[in-house]
Structure 1
């Protein structure tokens, strides 16, 4: 499963990436850097809901020690997408090192008047995105398109928010409660994104009188609506979409990073309904909260239901323009509820239409306590490693529920979601720790909901973690020299831009932990410049660097085969052009090269003669039916023909099927969750299965075939059942392991299977295992564990010798 797009965050604010990228191409600069008069502030939210100041305004600053006349000048405004500028004429002068205030349109709200303006217009400026130009003439700007910064008479210009009409890059987008002000020493660099920052609106006129939005009068009287009225007794607020004023509560936690900044607050006075939460998140976008835990506040805003991803449940929150009145500080926080998870994970059907049953279902208990302080009053076991990049960990409240021998929780079927799993994200950081470690009692925070992981405890206090002593596995020495070892390893977007340490670590994995397999199918090999999106598709440098690292680690001198994809057609990280590749040890096996394979040519199965059972590939390496729509924006299987143990043929099909991106989360609003991505994988599975069947039929069942790689689906899934034709075409080797050992990846706290090795019936004797070196550890070279099988020599006889019978171990258990 590709790491790219795996991680979703609450992106409720900020510009779309595509727009930011497009804007980066506009690099026009003004005629000259302004060293005397500049635009010092712009504000378009005046008089809007949640605004304190009644009017929009534009402020100018004189950077010199002498007065500057603005007679005959103008300020002009256009919308973000508009080409028509509205103009306000200026007159008079700006004092030495002083300011000049231009008042614009008023709204219906607000409590503060601006200082006496030096010029007055009636332009209704946008509260989010727009363009303001300071012009040394009173002629409307016409025809400059998105390059008005370089138009005649333009002394200074600011484009803010989602506009391309800028000096180099846009200043921050605004809200009803934020203005852009020139930063620091007021130096003009002709880069709006550098010169301006957003913050509390503040306006100063030529007389030096300043009004700040936070200087206004406040009304400390609580409104009539309480948090439990907003949350209601269901999943959706009964007053969603309505504006509420002066909702009281005590701040319990704050989030000051990312695009979902804000604070949680809770009403210490509990109502009589056990189904209504007393906690709520106040969403501030990219603006950091100024309140701290213990502040008593009155919050004003609009009740929203934020759905962070397709199919996810919603988070009830206070959004829109936010006004917060601090009444007092240092108050005691409301007592936390104790996290208590019922036996069942959830009911079926549309959850938002059903009553909450918190004593029966985990998802209902979490919803009832959404936004509230909660604490874990028992020690728990880590069932995923701590993700130190995002300070995340999963624990289990039910230690005997489907445990793995190494401390995790195995995912056995769609009907068993492992209801004891619990997700924690620490707001104060988290130390590295591995699966099987112990989290002591005492972790406390607030219950939140996000797309990745669903319900989560945003921890303000993280209890001590005691490492469990988990060790990494390695393969056992081969018992016979003629055995052929084959491995699959997803190396997670490997490219030459990765640090040398990653190459060295992966090389160590192959040499020490995997025992230098004779053939390795690699997934997620990127092109020679990684995510740089410039048309490069070759990966020879990536593979050469990896092979050199393996040699340095004491491994063999591998050779490699792969096929470069067409640019941008195989999914994964944009610009990376991931693909599969074969590494093979030429001292142990021979790759049969058959020319003609490329990104667009389909490999086919050939008979030596019409009546012969001897088969070969039309091209080697080759790709399975790459033009078929099943492979749209996805990796195409790589097929290769090998010889081993004399002249025994072996056909390998290396895969990286369509990822699970787009599937609804386990905590989805409709249960069971919709597996959207499965449709394409079923099509892909059919393509691979039909190719293997062709090999089998034309060889009269004699073709030794290994299908392996990141199939992005579970051993019990319809995809794997279709690919193997329920075990008749291919055998799923993960199913030969005990149930509690069937995993190669951990997601949402579930130890699960995404990677596979499947074999055709012609392979009689083998040993197999998953080598656990990554998924359970905070220190990972990849997020996947590799798998190894050995094709055992001397197993082409009947009855099978004892060593050829399934179940022979290949992995030690430290």
Structure 2
């Protein structure tokens, strides 16, 4: 079990900084200090807002600054103080600020908080202004300081600032296991990707980090009313944040080439400067000497259902827009080539990897046309491969989402008959805490089908009711201003579904019910809203969650993710941590027919750059596909 040790000095780190006025001294009057003295042993420099002069070897050059470090043999030999520091130049650094040059530079000591996000640590920097501050090269072709090789001892404190002592210094990881793939920015209109060259890893030998129950540690420490709610909610768990994670940035150094890696690969000699960003210590790798890469993974096709089985899937297809411009709505419009490439990629995933599930609860489709084109492509692909025509049919009704992403179904018409298809709660309203009293509850309203799966053996169809869902995301859930609204909305969405399930079970205790989709929730209490507990009839007690819900389901449901190996309980990777957001939940009458459950590993572990590769199936979305198998016989 990981220890939840709170970092030293973190309450100071939670302050919003006030930069006082200062007297700008001429460069000649500025006193020179060792880098270690400026860094000190705490999160904040004692020289903050003072004009200083420092010297060191340039170790990395970025687009708006550079790192310098004290040469080997000239350090203070104190393991608690860093020998490196970032010089922020705002624009491109001086031409001679290149690795291997020894320089002297002046500027003001600042504590920069990335993104001005309160719930992050600060970076001690020298703020340099060209024309005001001093910069000079004192030697060239100087050997770079030897990197500190990170070891398990460095991660033993398990605190958010455990690597503060190396901030700005050259560090290295001998062998790193990649646990989260390279990210990037997708242009849904052209299906192109700009890789950000950033991924996550751990020291070899560490297990893969998973999201665990509880609040994020930095939120816990920086909440303005933390003392009050700690008293009101004494049993809220605190997640340690998986401090063993290391963020790796292979793009930020000028002249560097972004690396696109997948989870499961192994890297040798990851070397660079230790920076901080997005709430994580980050190795900005050396330009020109990328680490070596070994291993790799590939998606494995799921077995097709047997004659006496059928399958139900939950598939998030990530902002799938078509190439038709609807003048009545504000939308992204894909090019014809981009849309065709996306249709081909997703249809191949359904045909070749997911083995054509009988019912697919689809999330993030722009409209019915997207699903119809997908159905057409899947059907054609199956026939071209010598398989029977699955005759997929599309079902979708427009919702309230401003991005025009909706939920719907692809149903295998060759085997399944849809008796009814209905959207629920599109006009449902709720009162926002401190805001509107008529706010829309469901941006993507639940969509329900009543289906019959043909049974050739008995002649009696197998009836099942399936709901496709895409609940409110976690974005803004810890925000001081917007957090109460987000938490209330998520809780009420879950309660709406729970009430619907309970009424259905009361009306017909034998009805088979499946809740599927991207629920944007973990399978446990995150300390904020317990979505899954509410849906399954096992809500978290009021003193252990900020936005609690009552028990609304008399006959509890079963979340299938809890039935598989812990190492497989993920459909998404965020901030380096594997987590389950996509779920299939069933009631007891359906459990009698359960035959298996798992995730098709086709997206979450692969680099974002794969999205743009039309010849690859991997990376068609950022979520893996949840698939459950059921038997027609009990």
Aligned to 2:325: none
Q: Deviations over 1:457-508 (max 9, x none)?
A: 1111555433424231222122225x33211111111112144322211111
Shift of 1:511: 1.0
Q: Please, which of 622, 625, 628 is the counterpart of residue 786 of structure 1? A: 625
Aligned to 1:470: 297
Q: Is the 8 A contact 1:310 1:662 kept in 2?
A: no
| Count, aligned residues | 501
Highest CA radius of gyration, 1 or 2? Answer: 1
Q: Deviations over 1:672-722 (max 9, x none)?
A: xx99955543332222111111111122x2221111111122212232122
Is 1:424 matched up with 2:233? no
Shift of 1:793: 0.4
Superposition RMSD in Å: 3.1
1:655/1:272 CA distance change after superposition, 3 Å: same
Shift of 1:765: 0.9
1:465/1:723 CA distance change after superposition, 3 Å: farther
Shift of 1:224: 3.4
Whole-Å Cα distance in 2 between the matches of residues 324 and 558 of structure 1?
Answer: 69
Is 1:294 matched up with 2:100? yes
Q: Deviations over 1:716-770 (max 9, x none)?
A: 2232122212295220001111122211112233222111000011212122221
Q: Is the 8 A contact 1:438 1:467 kept in 2?
A: yes
Whole-Å Cα distance in 2 between the matches of residues 507 and 765 of structure 1?
Answer: 28
Report the secondary structure of 2:180's partner residue: coil
Is 1:266 matched up with 2:69? yes
Q: Please, which of 357, 372, 376 is the counterpart of residue 548 of structure 1? A: 376
Whole-Å Cα distance in 2 between the matches of residues 379 and 740 of structure 1?
Answer: 21
Whole-Å Cα distance in 1 between the matches of residues 391 and 124 of structure 2?
Answer: 58
Q: Please, which of 235, 239, 254 is the counterpart of residue 47 of structure 2? A: 239
1:416/1:738 CA distance change after superposition, 3 Å: farther
Q: Is the 8 A contact 2:199 2:261 kept in 1?
A: no
Shift of 1:557: 3.4
Q: Is the 8 A contact 1:692 1:729 kept in 2?
A: no
Shift of 1:227: 2.9
Shift of 1:279: 1.8
After TM superposition, the structure 1 = structure 2 runs for residues 593-742 of structure 1, keeping only pairs within 5 Å, are 593=420, 620-623=422-425, 626-629=428-431, 632=441, 634-645=443-454, 646-662=460-476, 678=487, 680-699=489-508, 701-717=509-525, 718-726=530-538, 728-742=555-569
Q: Is the 8 A contact 1:263 1:281 kept in 2?
A: yes
Whole-Å Cα distance in 1 between the matches of residues 363 and 178 of structure 2?
Answer: 28
Whole-Å Cα distance in 2 between the matches of residues 478 and 264 of structure 1?
Answer: 57
After TM superposition, the structure 1 = structure 2 runs for residues 198-277 of structure 1, keeping only pairs within 5 Å, are 223-240=31-48, 242-256=49-63, 261-268=64-71, 269-271=74-76, 273-277=78-82
Report the secondary structure of 2:492's partner residue: helix
Report the secondary structure of 1:682's partner residue: helix
Is 1:327 matched up with 2:153? no
Aligned to 2:393: 559
Shift of 1:560: 1.6
Report the secondary structure of 1:587's partner residue: coil
Is 1:379 matched up with 2:379? no
Q: Is the 8 A contact 1:475 1:771 kept in 2?
A: yes
How does the TM-score come out when normalised to structure 2? 0.72
Q: 4+ runs of 1 displaced by more than 6 Å? A: 108-111
Shift of 1:286: 4.7
Report the secondary structure of 1:553's partner residue: helix
Aligned to 1:774: 603
1:678/1:468 CA distance change after superposition, 3 Å: farther
Whole-Å Cα distance in 2 between the matches of residues 658 and 342 of structure 1?
Answer: 40
Aligned to 1:39: none
Ranges in structure 1 where 5+ consecutive residues have no aligned partner: 1-48, 51-107, 112-218, 345-358, 403-407, 527-538, 595-619, 666-673, 796-814
How does the TM-score come out when normalised to structure 1? 0.57
Whole-Å Cα distance in 1 between the matches of residues 272 and 588 of structure 2?
Answer: 54
Report the secondary structure of 1:722's partner residue: helix
Q: Is the 8 A contact 1:251 1:297 kept in 2?
A: no
Ranges in structure 2 where 5+ consecutive residues have no aligned partner: 1-20, 185-194, 215-238, 323-333, 383-388, 433-439, 455-459, 540-554, 611-618
Report the secondary structure of 1:365's partner residue: coil
Q: Is the 8 A contact 2:572 2:579 kept in 1?
A: yes
1:304/1:739 CA distance change after superposition, 3 Å: closer
1:640/1:306 CA distance change after superposition, 3 Å: same
Q: Please, which of 332, 337, 344 is the counterpart of residue 504 of structure 1? A: 344
After TM superposition, the structure 1 = structure 2 runs for residues 130-209 of structure 1, keeping only pairs within 5 Å, are none
Shift of 1:336: 1.9
1:276/1:715 CA distance change after superposition, 3 Å: same
Aligned to 1:800: none
| Higher RCO by CA contacts (8 Å cutoff, separation 6 or greater) | 2
Q: Deviations over 1:112-169 (max 9, x none)?
A: xxxxxxxxxxxxxxxxxxxxxxxxxxxxxxxxxxxxxxxxxxxxxxxxxxxxxxxxxx
Aligned to 2:147: 336
Is 1:435 matched up with 2:263? yes
